[in-house]
Amino acid sequence: MDRMLVVVFDNENKAYQGKKALLQLDGEGSISVYAYAVLAKHADGTATVKQGDDSGPIGTLLGTSFGSLIGLLGGPVGLAIGATAGLAVGAAADLNNARIGEDFIDDVIKTLVPNRVAVVAEIEEDWTTPVDTRMEAIGGSVFRRALSDVKQTIHEENVAAMQADLAQMKAEHAKAHADRKAKLQEKINQLDSKIQTQLQKAKDRREALERQAQAKVQVLKAKAAAAKAKAS
């Protein structure tokens, strides 16, 4: 099952131990790690994405579920991106793009208080014991949530409703007197702008999911190739 994983530690040293343990589990075949980052929360409320000498396989993809989660955990103050992180996150992260519930974000933020550090990852795991055992031994608090399906049907229904309103306004505009036409046209323009924004968001979300799926396939192919080379 694909999941978002956040493990909160008391300090940066333990967080890097947690990241190392996570990658060891990946190497052992207990889980698959698709993206990861170390996120530090500072005393002033800002957050920094830190990396050692590497970056997560798909961590650099903007608009992905992983990128959105990082942005949301950064909080309203925003993120200071580490020079070696290779990750850029927009200030306004989309909760829908993150594909996890708001309650999950709230639970993590209550523990990820200033001066604490978290390992954030997108993983695939069949059972939770391997990760929990390793992380708890280091002193980490583990949070996980399965990725939800994108709510495309609800989104399409909202756009369809706005388009119906737009059609009605245009019909009224055609019959309206001159003094009313200007006000109706302003409303028509505003609604049309909202529709175009929603359509663009849907397009961006589909493309991000496609890029993410392709990246995951490449990660799995690389692992299979490495395992084959090691066996030969």
The pLDDT, as a whole number, for residue 92 is 41
What is d(CA 165, CA 26) in angstroms, rounded to the nearest whole number? 51
The pLDDT, as a whole number, for residue 152 is 54
Answer yes or no: is pLDDT of 7 > 90. Answer: yes
pLDDT digits (tens, 9 = 90+) for 162-219: 788 788 888 888 888 887 788 888 888 988 888 888 788 778 777 777 777 777 777 7
Position with higher pLDDT, 72 vs 209: 72
**Residue located via tokens 């994983």:** 5
Is the distance from CB of 39 to CB of 118 less than 8 angstroms? yes
Mean pLDDT, residues 214-225 taken together? 79
**Neighbouring residues of 22: CB distance < 8 A, sequence distance ≥ 6:** 5, 7, 31, 33, 36, 119, 121, 123, 131, 134, 135
CA atoms within 13 A on the CB side of 161: 6
The pLDDT, as a whole number, for residue 52 is 45
The pTM (predicted TM-score) of the whole model is 0.65
How many CB atoms lie under 10 A from the CB of residue 53? 5
The pLDDT, as a whole number, for residue 222 is 81
Is the distance from CB of 3 to CB of 123 less than 8 angstroms? yes
